[in-house]
């Protein structure tokens, strides 16, 4: 059976859980408390040298880390990975953007504010600027489209919704970006969450 190592406070981990649930995959969930440093424990590092969650052990024993790589592997062959080559490339475009631009601003600000309890004055102001720019870019895209890649929900939507739906915990008010808020509701409905 698939084993998912994850922490439920982590959007990166929830992405993997949601995909597995959506696809009806059987799995065992192993809690790894990132705040307690369990992802850096020697036993965990021996199995997953990147020292982060999520990470999975596939049914055949092979291991894989990095949330979006895991999403793509689990969703291979499903409607969440577009068959059309350009739509698939668009999905990759948003997946890479999510990890390089969106998550490092919105998820990091959320973690510092909501989980470490830092006051706004102690959080790098650039995180708010970058997070707002990311949400504005998403809103511009969603002004003419319901989903991020191709004409249907894909792994890109699942990856992007993970931290967007909890952006308020990072101090971002989605009421300022109604197209993004409406898309969050659409993705949550597909995934049966929310
Ligand atoms: N690029 C990685 C990021 C993973 C990541 O940042 N994981 C965090 C939780 S969201 C973590 O494991 N932090 C604990 C640590 O670094 O010790 C992915 O997409 O999986």
> Residue 47: its pLDDT value, please?
97
Residue of minimum CA distance from atom 17 in ligand 1: 39
> Residue 57: its pLDDT value, please?
98
Whole-number Å distance, alpha carbon 150 to ligand 1 midpoint, is 28
> Residue 171: its pLDDT value, please?
98
- CB-CB neighbours of 72 under 10 Å: 20
Please state, in angstroms and as integers, the Cα–Cα distance from residue 17 to each residue in 23, 25, 29, 70, 110, following that order.
10, 10, 9, 10, 20
> Residue 41: its pLDDT value, please?
98
State the closest ligand 1 atom to the C-alpha of 53, by its place in the atom list counted from 1. Answer: 12
Q: Assign residue 52 the CATH number of its domain.
A: 3.40.30.10
Same domain, 153 and 106: yes
> Residue 79: its pLDDT value, please?
97
Whole-number Å distance, alpha carbon 121 to ligand 1 midpoint, is 25
State the closest ligand 1 atom to the C-alpha of 107, by its place in the atom list counted from 1. Answer: 10
> Residue 183: its pLDDT value, please?
98
Probe residue for ligand 1, chosen from 12, 36, 70 as the CB with the greatest number of ligand atoms within 8 Å:
12
Domain of residue 15, residue span: 2-75
Going by the DSSP 8-state scheme, the letter that residue 189 receives in this structure is H
Same domain, 93 and 161: yes
Ligand 1: list residues with CB < 6 Å: 10, 12, 34, 39-40, 51-54, 66-68, 99
**Global pTM value:** 0.97
For residues 44 and 38, give the distance between their C-alpha atoms in angstroms, rounded to a whole number.
7
Helix (H) or strand (E) holding 64: strand 63-65
Helix (H) or strand (E) holding 29: strand 27-31
Write out residues in the chain with pLDDT < 50, as ranges.
none
> Residue 194: its pLDDT value, please?
81
In a domain, 80, yes or no: no
Give the closest residue to 48 by CA, choosing from 21, 13, 94.
Answer: 13
Place of tokens 């102690």: 122
């Amino acid at each position: 059976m698939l084993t998912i190592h994850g922490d439920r406070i982590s959007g990166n981990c929830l992405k993997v859980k949601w995909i597995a649930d959506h696809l009806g995959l059987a799995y065992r969930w192993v809690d790894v408390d990132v705040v307690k440093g369990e992802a850096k424990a020697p036993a965990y590092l021996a199995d997953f040298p990147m020292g982060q969650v999520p990470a999975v052990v596939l049914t055949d024993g092979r291991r894989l880390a990095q949330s979006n790589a895991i999403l793509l592997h689990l969703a291979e062959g499903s409607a969440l990975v577009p068959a059309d080559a350009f739509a698939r490339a668009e999905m990759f475009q948003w997946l890479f953007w999510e990890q390089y631009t969106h998550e490092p601003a919105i998820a990091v600000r959320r973690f510092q504010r909501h989980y470490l309890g830092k006051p706004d004055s102690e959080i790098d102001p650039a995180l708010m600027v970058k997070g707002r720019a990311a949400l504005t870019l998403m809103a511009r895209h969603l002004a003419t489209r319901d989903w991020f890649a191709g004409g249907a929900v894909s792994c890109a939507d699942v990856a992007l919704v993970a931290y967007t739906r909890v952006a308020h915990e990072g101090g971002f008010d989605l009421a300022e970006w109604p197209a993004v808020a409406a898309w969050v509701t659409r993705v949550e409905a597909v995934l049966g969450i929310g």
